[in-house]
């Protein structure tokens, strides 16, 4: 419940920021703040709607995912199937990513068209318990419809960025005598997209915390995921992913491109130490050590 409330609060902030920009842009350059806000939101929504419906295929292609059957990947397939059966969830498609970097992600618009993917490296370094912890985390993303949540966040952030650029160019090429409008346009262009990105990343980190918690609940064993995360964090630092798009790093259970030394504010994932700490505290409350 706490994670849901935080996510709703972050969405409320983004919507409030967008409304403020729409009011400023419309008032200064269009003479109608409501018209400006609606136009920007519709355009951003169209772009992100196309991305939402086709992003799954694009992601699977960009990471060279090969969909597999139980005969081709029996250990991975059975693990996912058992988690789905235990929790009354539809069986997703299962994919293998051809890389030694150990990682995993889930994609798809919802439980009925989800794809859960693991790298070849992940299959090699995790034991069965750790593998079930990782797959439960990914199944929690599917259950929570996190692809939808992040698509909505992306829509709002895209609308804010579009409005900010419009404000800048409107101020730059508008009435030269309106120095106040120019300064406001420049200020919006610089600060609004950064604020939107920070909030979008905060939502991403919040969804990871929730997937850790929900995934641990799906199998009743928080320590399975805690042990897996320790291995994955160390392995991804040693051997970061050599292909794919860093813009999609938030999809993975740990950042596969390892931007070391980043300020937490600009991280796609929560600090690993905190994730493991929360899982161990959860296990302790359940009497597991």
Q: Indicate if the pLDDT at residue 68 is higher than 80.
A: yes
Task: Look up residue 173 and give its two tokens.
Answer: 């090429």
Average pLDDT, the chain: 82
Q: Indicate if the pLDDT at residue 198 is higher than 90.
A: no
Tell me which of 236 and 10 has the higher pLDDT.
236
Percentage of residues of the chain with pLDDT beyond 70? 73
pLDDT digits (tens, 9 = 90+) for 210-219: 999 999 999 9
Pairing status of strand 93-97 against strand 115-119: parallel
Question: Residue range 193-205: average pLDDT?
Answer: 80
Give the torsion sign (CA, 246, 252, 258, 259).
positive
Tell me which of 28 and 131 has the higher pLDDT.
131
pLDDT digits (tens, 9 = 90+) for 70-128: 999 999 999 999 999 999 999 999 999 999 999 999 998 788 889 999 999 999 999 99
| For the ranges 44-53, 212-221, 238-247, the one whose mean pLDDT is highest | 212-221
Question: Residue range 44-69: average pLDDT?
Answer: 81
Q: Indicate if the pLDDT at residue 272 is higher than 80.
A: yes
Q: Are 123 and 105 in contact (CB under 8 A)?
A: no
pLDDT digits (tens, 9 = 90+) for 162-174: 777 766 676 666 5
Per mean pLDDT, which range of 18-32, 107-121, 225-239 is the poorest? 18-32
Q: Are 215 and 133 in contact (CB under 8 A)?
A: yes
Q: What pLDDT is stored for residue 177 in this prediction?
A: 54
- Catalytically active residues, by annotation: 138
Bridge partners for 117 per DSSP: 95, 105
Q: Indicate if the pLDDT at residue 185 is higher than 80.
A: no
Instruction: Find, among 29, 8, 20, 10, the residue nearest to 160 by Cα.
Output: 20
């Amino acid at each position: 419940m706490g994670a849901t409330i935080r996510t709703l609060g972050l969405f409320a902030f983004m919507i409030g920021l967008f409304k403020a920009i729409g009011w400023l842009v419309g008032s200064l350059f269009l003479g109608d703040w409501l018209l400006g806000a609606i136009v920007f939101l519709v355009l951003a929504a169209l772009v992100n709607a196309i991305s939402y419906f086709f992003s799954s295929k694009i992601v699977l292609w960009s990471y060279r995912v090969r969909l597999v059957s139980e005969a081709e990947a029996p250990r991975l397939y059975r693990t996912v199937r058992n988690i789905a059966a235990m929790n009354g969830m539809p069986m997703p498609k299962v994919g293998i990513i051809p890389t030694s970097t150990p990682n995993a992600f889930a994609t798809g618009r919802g439980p009925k068209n989800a794809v859960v993917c693991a790298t070849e490296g992940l299959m090699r370094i995790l034991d069965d318990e750790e593998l079930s912890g990782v797959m439960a985390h990914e199944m929690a993303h599917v259950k929570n419809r996190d692809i939808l949540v992040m698509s909505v966040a992306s829509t709002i952030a895209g609308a804010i960025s579009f409005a900010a650029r419009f404000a800048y160019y409107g101020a730059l090429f508008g009435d030269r005598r309106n120095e106040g409008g120019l300064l406001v346009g420049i200020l919006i262009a610089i600060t609004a997209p950064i604020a939107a990105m920070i909030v979008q990343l905060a939502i991403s980190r919040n969804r990871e915390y929730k997937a850790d918690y929900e995934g641990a609940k799906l199998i009743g064993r928080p320590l399975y995921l805690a042990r897996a995360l320790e291995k994955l964090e160390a392995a991804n630092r040693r051997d970061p992913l050599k292909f794919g798009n860093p813009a999609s790093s938030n999809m993975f259970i740990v950042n596969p491109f390892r931007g070391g030394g980043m300020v937490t504010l600009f991280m796609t994932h929560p600090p690993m130490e905190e994730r493991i700490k929360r899982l161990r505290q959860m296990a302790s409350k359940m009497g597991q050590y």
